[in-house]
Amino acid sequence: MTEHKNQAPVWHGTTILSVRKDNRVVVAGDGQVSLGDTIIKGSAKKLRRLAGGDVIAGFAGATADAFTLFERLEAKLEQYPNQLTRASVELAKDWRTDRYLRRLEAMMAVVDKEVSLVLTGNGDVLEPDDGLIGIGSGGNYALAAARALIDRNDMNAEEIAKTAMKISAKICVYTNENIITENL
């Protein structure tokens, strides 16, 4: 959590995980919203389908920032249909250079059937080598668990994502076990 003198605590914490396995991609998000050390809501939906359902986006950061970035990405996807990477690069350029957008401190995980990307306000558009993405306060825990589970033949992408998220919830105080998934 970030706190500055004379300011209220900043909304903090979430976990978003994306798992790509066997021509399937799953994005999972927990439902906890925290303000400082207080849980405000346990059933928030932090994932959105964009581009007519062909893209799934997950967000770690403030809610207003999320809606702004989802809208901007949706507009870029309309401008560059079926080109998630191009739309993401264009959003990252705007995010980095626009006076209003560059104040947003957030990360996004975005996926389609072909590609998985992490977008940041620093202008990063990153595609992981292994098709696994973890962002937010519990993201590294979920990512580590997913990496440990990915080679199991008895688990599909959704089972790996849910199991990894539950492991993250046992470690990260800003993550709960109310897991929502979206699949492509």
Q: What's the token pair of residue 112?
A: 């389609």
Q: Write down the pLDDT at residue 132.
A: 98
- If one counts the domains in the chain, the total is 1
The answer to whether residue 128 sits within a structural domain is yes
Q: Write down the pLDDT at residue 5.
A: 47
Residues 6+ apart with CB under 8 A from 131: 18, 19, 20, 21, 25, 116
What pTM value is reported for the model? 0.90
Q: Write down the pLDDT at residue 36.
A: 80
- Mean pLDDT in the chain? 90
The answer to whether residue 34 sits within a structural domain is yes
The answer to whether residue 4 sits within a structural domain is no
The answer to whether residue 2 sits within a structural domain is no
Please answer whether residues 32 and 14 qualify as being in contact, where contact means their C-beta atoms are separated by less than 8 angstroms.
yes
Structural domain of residue 121, as residue ranges? 11-183
> Which residues are annotated as catalytic?
14
The answer to whether residue 3 sits within a structural domain is no
CATH of the domain at 102: 3.60.20.10
The answer to whether residue 162 sits within a structural domain is yes
Tell me the C-alpha distance between 104 and 123, whole Å: 12
The answer to whether residue 31 sits within a structural domain is yes
Q: Write down the pLDDT at residue 97.
A: 84
